[in-house]
Each structure stands twice: as C-alpha cells, then as structure tokens.
Structure 1
Amino acid sequence: MSSHKDLQKLTAGGLLISLGIIYGDIGTSPLYVFKAIVGSNKISETLVLGGISLIVWTLTLQTTLKYVVITLRADNKGEGGIFSLFSLVRRKAKWLIVPAVVGGCALLADGIITPPITISSAIEGLETYYPQLPTVEIVIAIIAVLFIIQQFGTSLVGKAFGPIMFLWFTMMGVLGISYVVQMPSILKALNPYYAYQLLASDYNAFIILGAVFLCTTGAEALYSDLGHCGRKNIQISWIYVKACLILNYLGQAVWLLQRNGQLVDLNEKNPFYQIMPEWFLIFGIGIATIAAIIASQALISGSFTLIAEAVRLNLWPKVRIQYPSEQKGQLYVPSINWILCIGCIGVVLLFKHSSNMEAAYGLSITVAMLMTTILVSKFLQRKKAPVYLIGAFLTVYMLIEGTFLLGNLVKFIHGGWFTLSIGLMLFIVMWTWHTARKIKNRYVKFIEIDDYFNIIKEMSEDESVPKYASQLIYLTSANFNSEVESKIIYSILQKQPKRADVYWLVHVDVVDEPYKSEYEVDFLIPGKLIRVDFKLGFRVEQQINLLFRRVVEDLVKNGEVDITSRYQSLNKHKIVGDFRFVVIEKVLSRSHNLSFFERVIMFIYSYLRKISLSEERNFGLDLSFVTIEKVPLMLTSPESVKLERVMPS
C-alpha cells in the first residue's frame, strides 16, 4: 500500500507518468478538431476566432473546472473512474445503478471509435508526401498489431510513454508559438465574446458545438486514470498540457486566418500539419503516429480495467482476466480485447477517412459525461457540500453537456448511430446480467443455520455414512452468519449425504473500497462448521482458491483448526486431509411466474451464461477439487399445482 500512497504525492516521475498515460485522447485532438469545426465552410474571422474561443472555454469549464478541479476530488481510496465513483455513492439511492451502467457502456463504446480516428488522423498526414498511399490498410495493420501485443503486457512500452508524450506536447506548443508570433492579435480570441458571436451567427450552432466538443473527449479518461498517477500529479501536469494544446490551436487559427475568405479542403491540408516546417513534416507525422498509438493504448487499458470492475460488481458476465505483468493495474481481458479489435477495424472499413469518423465521434462520450455529472452531484451531497453549490454544479454542467449532446445528435445519421448502437448493445448485456441476478436471488430461500447444528455435528461423526471429504467447502451468498441457502443444507444432508470432518462456508463480499482485502472467521460449530467472510475491493482479483488456502494456513498456524486427516493410517503420519469445493449452480426451472420483461431478461441471460466463465473458474478454484451441483430454483410451489387423485376402477 505504501507505493499506492506514493502515487498521490507530487513527484517528477508522477508528472511524467501522467503525461504518458492520461492525456493521449485529449492530447491528440488537435489532429482533427479544427478540421471538424471548419468543415466545408469558407474560412472567416467569425468562424476561426469563435472556434478558438469555444475550444478555450470548453477546455476551461469542462476539462479544467469539472474534471481536474471538482471530479478528481471524488476519489475512492485513490481510485477514479465511473464505477469507482458509483461504488462511493451507490448506497445513496438504488437508481444510481442506471447512470453508472449507461456511463460505463458509453465509455466502452468510445473505445471502439478513438483508436481509428486518432491513428487515421496521424497517418493521413503522409498523404501530403504520397497522395496514393493506402492509408486504410496501414491504419488497420497498426490497429491489429496494437491489439495482438496486449496479451504480452505493455509495462515495458509504457515506461517510454511519458517522455514521448512530453515531446509531443512540447512540439505542439513550439509549433503553435511559431505562428502566434506572426499574428499576436489572435490572442483576442480568448475573449468569450467571440464564442457567443459564432453561435449567434449564420453558422449552424449545433454542428459547430458537436465539432468543438471533440477537444475535450479525453476528460473522462483523465478521471479514470486517477489511481495510476494521483490527483496532484494530474492537476499540475494538466497546466502544461492545457497551455501546449491552446498554443497549438492558436497556431492553427493563425494559419487559417492567413487564408481568410478562401475555401480550403482541410482533408488535404490539415492545419495541424500545415503549421509544421516542410523539413520537419516527416518527423512530425512520425511523432503524431506514436502519440496516436499511445492514446489508443491508454484507452484499451482503461477498457480492460472498466470490464474487470464491472465483473466484480456483477454488472458484466464472468470473463477471463489475465495479469501479463507484475505491474499494478496491468491486466488483459481477452474477450474485450478481440471485441474492441474487430470493432476498431470495422470502424476503419466503414468510415475509411478520419473526417467521416468525426461524425461518429463524441456522441457516446457526451452521454458518459452527463452520467458522471449526476454521480458527482451525489458525491458532493454525500460530502455535505452546500445545497446551492450542488444545484449550481448540476445546472451548469447539465446545461453545458446537454447543449453538447444536442450538438452531437445532429451527427446521428452521419455516424453517431454507430457508437450509440454499440453502447446500446453493451447496455443490454450489463443490464441483463445485473437484473437476472436480482431475479434469481428472489427465489433463493435462506434458512436459520443453527436449526441444523446438531444434525451436521452428528452426521460428521456418523461412520455409517461414507466420508465425502475431510474438508468440505461451500460458497454461500448468505450475507448473515445466522443464515444459509436451503440448497446447501439439502446438498449436505439429502442429495447424497456428505460426511466431512469439517464443513466450511465461504462468502465473498465486494466492498466499495477498491483494494480492500480482509477476512473474518466465525466458528459456528467449533471444529465442525466454520464460516469465512472475505471482504474484497472491486479491483481485487477474486482468487478464492489462493485466498482460502491462506486463511487455512493462518488458522492452522494459530492452532485454531486441525486439518490433519482423520483416517488412522494417515493421521499417525500427520498427512493433511483432502479439500473439496462444492459449487451449487442455481438453474431457473420454470418461468411462467415471471413478467414478460423478466422472461426476456432471463432468455438473454441464458445465452450470456453459455459464453461466460463458470462460477468455479471465476473464483479461481482448482477444478480437480470441485463438485458442481445443479439445483432448480422453483418458481411455483407444489401446493399451487392442482391435481386430483382417482382410484383404479
């Protein structure tokens, strides 16, 4: 934990890491923002000065004030992100699950559009040199390689991210200054009046806002990576990043104003590359390509973290999660990796050019930002912030983000439908998994365990019953020590009576703190029935096999349990008895008592179960020591079945 606390301190290393993994998305936006703002319009002073003004004030109000100043304070033991935020406030109201799931799905959908647009924007700069260059094929090749290397871990490459991104931001700042000195009057665009003038002009305000929004798309990722860098490192490094971004946008604006009144095809003459000296262009394109890959890598890693959290919060089907390196937070989710890979390649094939992708970009991330606003307002309420401040925060940001949402909805038919469709599919999966679990839990019957203490004790000592295992372990979902599922008692006493020297009940409780890892032991029947409660954070790997073994070792060391085999021939040699896990798989036997909506949910859930990991694999149990028992969850009691007996004639 000390290293985790060290991240919260302001250090040179922390600042460099922040530059490397947090600002990839927002840092590569100058590649395409002005292209999107100007579009096919003739260059005018109103359009350029208004565009700069909107960019500066969007970065100030949206990125700096909302995220860097306010939202970064909503840290869950140093961790950020929409599910960390949800874990902080979920006890405030049950309905908060909705903005959390919607926001999470929107962020994942964003992960399918960001790599194609950033890498395409960078590679298309080469068309200045080579007009016939097959950019689509090159972009697909880069994306494919990027996703293939994920399985090997990216910790070694990650160490180079900081210096490269520092070079990237410095390059953008210097290029911007080289043009600002040519027209210092461009600084007047910092006045918000020019933003108002543009929105009130003949230009379509909503299309302009949809384009301007692209400058702040990486703000949500900034909050998600809080745990990797710490609040102070992010807040200080953002000062440098924002300055370099604004200088570059100002430089591009000068280049555009030098062509005032002209109709310029910005797809062929991207202002980002046009402000580079000709001799530097090839180096600039190279650095831009590497920065785009880094931006994509950060977003892919963020998607893995998001899914791992969703799995542990029971918002996503159980999937395989690997840890390719010892680096904290470094994980790899194969299923999500290949879904993202196919999605990204599909985007490139569908839209082909970055200018076409701009229409699909921004809509889903606006939705995510709106959801974060709702959750942050609840966090401020939890922190007992003054009501007028919470009201002001909600009003201002619902208005800003609501306006941006309307601006992005204009793009719906031009490509926005794509990310919304992806987000909707992800939402169906998350909501189905969450709701199905609630439906199943409705039909799980809990009974008082102390009613069975004497029977369990007697059966454990009844040698006429064949011994099933020395140590028999059941996973239980009962939250209280006094309760147990009726199906566990049925399994022990009736479904092939299972005699054991010691019975264990293991319960896993996912808590709101990200890295909590504690356990409690309750000796229900001393030496016969023991319950172990694990309290694990939503970012802790649930390797129950290893965790349980550690608990048993601690108890043996303290002399609290004896796991030596009771068989005489083995006991005299102090040989440890065998351990066996029994996992009870609850199957819904009938569904006519469910509503139409619930039947649809359970129908989709049945298919999701087939492609998800089983309980025993999810908990990391050794399959050679696991028994799976399928038990039906009865939705109708036998009393409700009408049946008349007749005597034989």
Structure 2
Amino acid sequence: MGIGKHQATKITAGSLLVALGIIYGDIGTSPLYTFKAIIGNRPISEILVLGGVSCVFWTLMLQTTIKYVWLTLKADNDGEGGIFSLYSLVRRYGKKMIIPTMLGAAALLADGIITPAVSVTSAVEGLEMIAILDGHLSVVPIVIAIISLVFFLQRFGTQTVGKAFGPIMAIWFSVLLFLGFQEIIIYPEVFKALNPYYAYALLTQYPHGFWLLGAVFLCTTGAEALYSDLGHCGRGNIRITWGFVKTCLVVNYLGQAAWLLHQGETYLDGKNPFFEMMPSWFLLPGILIATFAAIVASQALISGSFTLINEAINLNFWQRVTVKQPSDTKGQIYIPSVNNMLWIGCTLVILYFQTSSKMEAAYGLAITLAMMTTTMLLSYFLLYKLKWNKTLVFLLLLTFAVIELSFFVANIVKFQEGGYITVIVGGLFFAVMYISFYGRKINNRYTNFVDLGRHAARITQLSDDASVPKMVTHLIYLSKADNRGQIEERIIESIFSKRPKRADVYWFFHINRANTPYTLDYDVTELVDDKVIKNRAEYRLQDTAKDGTLFPDHHR
C-alpha cells in the first residue's frame, strides 16, 4: 500500500531562477576575493596578472565545468547529489572507500563554515571605500547580523529562499558581466591570458609561482557545493544556468586583470580590484548588490550541508536528528540542529579572524580533500556504473588527481595561517561519523535476530492466559529487523520476562525514512490473525503536525 506525492524538478524560467539563487552563491561571489588574494602584496606584472587569470580560467574549465558540471552531475542517486550520494552508488564496488568518504564529507562541512564568513565580510568591507563611512564603520557586527538572518530564514525552506535570492543573483551576474566588459574594452589584449601558456609560465617561471595555486583555488571552492545541491534544483537547471554563470565569471576575472594592467600602480596596497574598477557613481549600489550576493553564498553552503547530513543519516553515518520538509519539492529539506551548528561556527570564525584577508588565508585547505575523495568515487562510478573504457577513466582520474594534488600541496601553507581551525573542526565531524557508523555496526553485531513465527504460538498462548495480569490491549515494539519474519531476540525475552507482558494484540514495527516527501508505503504481515502482527513502513512527510501526529493537517 502507499501514499505518495512527488514533484519532479522541471526546467522552467522559474526553476532556472531558483537554481541561480541556491546553487551559485559560493562560486559566484569568488571574484570578490580571488584576484585580490592572487596579487596580494606582490608587484603587479604581466606574468603575474595574465598568469593568474589564465590559471583561474583553466581551473573553472577543467575542475568546475568538466569534472563537476559534466561528469559528476551524472552521478545522481534518485535525484540527490553530494559525496554521500555518490558513495551510496558505488559502495558495492569500492568498499574500502568508506573512510575517505567520511573524511571528504567532514572536510567539506568544516571548510564550508568559512564560506559565509569570507563572502559576506568581503562584500561589507567594500563600504569602507565610501569616504563618509571610512573610520565610522564596524564590519564585524554587520556581518554577524547578516549571517544570523540567513540562518533564520532556513526554516521557511530553500525553495522560498531561492525564489527571493534568484533575482538578486541574476542582477549580480549581470553586474559581473558589465564591470568586466567595460575594462576589457580598454585593454582587449587581456584575452591572450586564455592561452594556457600563461598559466604554465606563472607556475614555473614566476618566483614561488606554484604556491599561488592556493589563492587560485578560491575560484572553484563552490564546485563541491554545486554537486551537493543537485537534489534542490536538478541536473538540467544546473547545467543550463552554469553556461551563463561561467561566462559572467570569466569576463569579470578578465576585467579585473585588464584593470590591473592599465591602472598604472605597482602595488595594490590593500585595494580590491573588484571594487576599484567600479565607476564612482555605481560604487554604493555595487557594494550593496555584492553584499546581497554574498548572502546567497551562505545559502549555497547551508543547503548543501543539509543535503550532506541527510544522506549521512540514510547511510548511518550520522545520528538520527530531526529532518523537516518545508515544501513539497523533492530535496527541499531543513535540519534545525545542523542549521544551529553552522550558525555558531560561522559566528565564531567571524569573531576570530575579523577581516576577509585573514579568512582568505585559511580558506580552501580542507575542501581539497573533499574534491580528491569525489574524484576517487567518481572513477568507480564511471567504471562500474556507466561502464566507461578503463583507459579513459584512468586518464581522467590521473588528470584530476594531478590538479587536485597540486592544489592540496599549495594549500598546505594555509595550515598555520588559520587552516588548522578547519582541520580541527573537520576532525570533529569525522569523529561523529566514524563513531555513529561503527558504533551501530558493533551494536548490530551483538543483536541476535530470531524467527518470529516460531514464537507466535507462545505469544498467542500468553495472550489467552487469563491467569497472567493484562498489561495493555495493544503492545507495540519498534524493531530493527527489516525482514518481515524476524525480530530481535531481546524483544522475545522482554515479552516472556519474569513479569510476562500480556496483551490482546502484539505489534512489531520496523520504520524507514523515505527520500520523497508525502510518502507512506507499508506492508502488514499477520502471523496470527488479530494477534501477532509485523508491520514495515517507509514514510516521509512534510512536517510533523502540531499535535505530534505524523500526518500534517491536509493529509489526515
């Protein structure tokens, strides 16, 4: 029997707008700080600027477009994405990948705590460029207030938030396109940076050029969250919108490079190329739009984290916590405990680092581990699920392994600059996952299951024995036994203990949580008519009713 309601994610103008609002906050706001981090306090030169933008372009091409948008989005688990969904698809073929998967997911959650902090702080710091506010503005309280508001809005559902944020991101990417285009017109020679030679020259000829990959990596940190949000928007919506988003990002990075090469100064001196290339009349509106876009960057992290924890619960990698379904759309979930945990983490990061430049220095170390894990799992998926040629899969694995290992080595220097915070937090997340999974396995190892049918006659006899005091009319046990004919031995021992539990009807329930909202599938096995009943149910409802029942008002 079953009750179900499933709304597939279709490609419409509205769904594309929602995808812009949910998916691209992190990667979409990377122009706020990536190029500033690449240049730093180094002398501005052609090899540094063109090499930097060339590295950014080819990172977006190889890492984000080919690996994530083209390849990884193929690996959807009933419409859901994320590293746990990918693992669940290939665990039959890569049983030893369980520990790397936990490490990758923990790293993604830990490093992602910095995403809202660095994005919003970078945008709000732009207000310091306005003369009337310079010296009279305290950035930290404003950032904390904005971050707190974003986390508060999660209880209303990502679909609601996505509808509100979608138009903002459409405006934001249009601004990126406009700002970059106006600078490219002045210095069109910057297009030669698309030649990969300039990236090679920066890494091999520029002094300590290889270590600049730690800053270049900031342009693609949102790629993993993009895959995690697959269930929120659907593959088609992500791929279509990415074409527009990537164009806007590349044009803006080229524009920043063009500004740096023709502005005539030797050092940045703390300036942000993104805000410096804004026309003076557009500075205040531009900073406000950037701030709103940075708020969306927080959303990309949060919704992706909800998906990760939801998948972790399904795989027994996380403790059972409340998971709410604020809307009737598949993938739209809200996890209060995770929301609060991320909010506290983001707030502490803001209070600790204070400025975006310090956050940038610590950002990206742990997430490289998540990307490497995804690459390993993806190779299993392509090889065993899609049946791709082994040589092709090996070449893809080798290519991404070289890229990500290079990023990881370049990011190692961030450990002492604050990266240790994400490593410690990631270790805590990993500990929770490891203990939850292996603790459950140990518990199950010492749980003995017996054939319920063999004890049905004894239970019937106890129920009919008037000499034993009746405890209740209906006695209900929750069971871990998925098999309709099995039950835990300790439940049988509980029924026939020193004080036997006599009842008119004995119910044994096994309950699973489904992935689709408004679902109630169940089957009933009566081992003895109206006496001994085994019930297996799979449910997922929008939310728990106010009176504590499972069904919302409109489904009673």
Q: How does 1:376-455 map to 2 (within 5 A)?
A: 376-380=378-382, 381-455=384-458
Q: CA deviation at 1:195?
A: 0.3
* Amino acid aligned to 2:300: A
CA contact (8 A) 1:34 1:271 kept: yes
Which residue number corresponds to residue 361 of structure 1?
363
Which residue number corresponds to residue 296 of structure 2?
294
Q: CA deviation at 1:254?
A: 0.6
CA contact (8 A) 2:104 2:373 kept: yes
CA contact (8 A) 2:32 2:119 kept: yes
CA contact (8 A) 1:20 1:163 kept: yes
Measured on the aligned residues, the alpha-carbon RMSD in Å equals 2.6
CA contact (8 A) 1:206 1:406 kept: no
Q: Distance in 1 between matches of 2:160 and 2:385?
A: 40
- Asked whether 1:232 is paired with 2:252, we answer no
Which residue number corresponds to residue 631 of structure 1?
none
Q: CA deviation at 1:154?
A: 5.9
SS in 1 for 2:205: coil
Which residue number corresponds to residue 496 of structure 2?
493
Distance 1:384 1:308, change over 3 A: same
Q: Distance in 2 between matches of 1:528 and 1:372?
A: 50
Q: Distance in 2 between matches of 1:92 and 1:509?
A: 25
* Amino acid aligned to 1:205: G
Which residue number corresponds to residue 75 of structure 2?
74
Q: Distance in 2 between matches of 1:548 and 1:57?
A: 50
* Amino acid aligned to 2:464: E
Structure with more helix by fraction = 2
Bigger Rg, structure 1 or 2: 1
Q: Distance in 1 between matches of 2:286 and 2:86?
A: 38
Which residue number corresponds to residue 336 of structure 1?
338
CA contact (8 A) 1:77 1:514 kept: no
Q: Distance in 1 between matches of 2:84 and 2:150?
A: 26
Q: Distance in 2 between matches of 1:529 and 1:137?
A: 61
Which residue number corresponds to residue 254 of structure 2?
250
Which residue number corresponds to residue 642 of structure 1?
none
* Amino acid aligned to 1:286: L
Q: CA deviation at 1:357?
A: 0.4
CA contact (8 A) 1:52 1:253 kept: yes
SS in 1 for 2:533: strand
Q: CA deviation at 1:519?
A: 2.4
CA contact (8 A) 1:43 1:259 kept: no
- Asked whether 1:211 is paired with 2:239, we answer no
Which residue number corresponds to residue 483 of structure 1?
486
Q: Deviations over 1:128-173 (max 9, x none)?
A: 1132121122212222333344445565443121111011001100
Distance 1:542 1:105, change over 3 A: farther
Q: CA deviation at 1:85?
A: 1.6
Q: CA deviation at 1:468?
A: 2.2
Which residue number corresponds to residue 104 of structure 1?
105
Q: Distance in 2 between matches of 1:197 and 1:337?
A: 44
Q: CA deviation at 1:178?
A: 0.4
CA contact (8 A) 2:103 2:370 kept: yes
- Asked whether 1:273 is paired with 2:238, we answer no
* Amino acid aligned to 1:438: K
Distance 1:542 1:499, change over 3 A: farther
Q: Distance in 2 between matches of 1:449 and 1:536?
A: 24
Q: CA deviation at 1:250?
A: 0.5
Q: CA deviation at 1:260?
A: 5.8
Q: How does 1:157-236 map to 2 (within 5 A)?
A: 157-236=161-240
Q: Deviations over 1:77-116 (max 9, x none)?
A: 2221122222222233432322322222122113310011
Distance 1:540 1:104, change over 3 A: farther
Q: Which runs of 5+ in 2 are unaligned?
A: none
Q: Deviations over 1:229-249 (max 9, x none)?
A: 221121111111000000000
Q: CA deviation at 1:322?
A: 4.1
- Asked whether 1:12 is paired with 2:16, we answer no
Which residue number corresponds to residue 268 of structure 2?
264
Q: CA deviation at 1:326?
A: 5.6
SS in 2 for 1:410: helix
Deviates more, 1:446-455 or 1:176-185: 446-455
Distance 1:534 1:457, change over 3 A: same
Which residue number corresponds to residue 593 of structure 1?
none
CA contact (8 A) 2:102 2:430 kept: yes
CA contact (8 A) 1:517 1:540 kept: no
SS in 1 for 2:362: coil
Q: Distance in 2 between matches of 1:88 and 1:502?
A: 41
Distance 1:13 1:363, change over 3 A: same
CA contact (8 A) 2:69 2:239 kept: yes
SS in 1 for 2:206: coil
* Amino acid aligned to 1:496: R
Q: CA deviation at 1:513?
A: 8.7
Distance 1:443 1:540, change over 3 A: farther
SS in 2 for 1:69: helix
Q: Deviations over 1:265-306 (max 9, x none)?
A: 1x3x21001111000000000000000011112312322332
Identify the structure with bigger relative contact order (alpha carbons < 8 Å, sequence gap 6+).
2
Q: Deviations over 1:168-224 (max 9, x none)?
A: 001100110001011111101000000000001233234210100100011111111
Q: TM-score, normalised by structure 2?
A: 0.92
Q: Distance in 2 between matches of 1:181 and 1:54?
A: 22
CA contact (8 A) 1:206 1:408 kept: no
SS in 2 for 1:359: helix
Which residue number corresponds to residue 51 of structure 1?
52
Q: Distance in 1 between matches of 2:156 and 2:80?
A: 25
CA contact (8 A) 1:54 1:212 kept: yes
Q: Distance in 1 between matches of 2:358 and 2:305?
A: 24
CA contact (8 A) 2:225 2:301 kept: yes
Identity %: 54
Distance 1:227 1:526, change over 3 A: same
- Asked whether 1:533 is paired with 2:541, we answer no
CA contact (8 A) 1:519 1:535 kept: yes
CA contact (8 A) 1:116 1:348 kept: yes
Q: Which runs of 5+ in 1 are unaligned?
A: 554-649
Q: TM-score, normalised by structure 1?
A: 0.79
Q: Distance in 2 between matches of 1:440 and 1:104?
A: 24
SS in 2 for 1:384: coil
- Asked whether 1:315 is paired with 2:343, we answer no
CA contact (8 A) 2:6 2:330 kept: no
Q: Deviations over 1:543-582 (max 9, x none)?
A: 9x96799xxx9xxxxxxxxxxxxxxxxxxxxxxxxxxxxx
Distance 1:122 1:406, change over 3 A: same
CA contact (8 A) 2:86 2:377 kept: yes
Q: CA deviation at 1:514?
A: 9.6
Q: Distance in 1 between matches of 2:366 and 2:88?
A: 22
SS in 1 for 2:35: helix
* Amino acid aligned to 1:373: T
Q: Distance in 2 between matches of 1:152 and 1:78?
A: 22
Aligned residues: 545
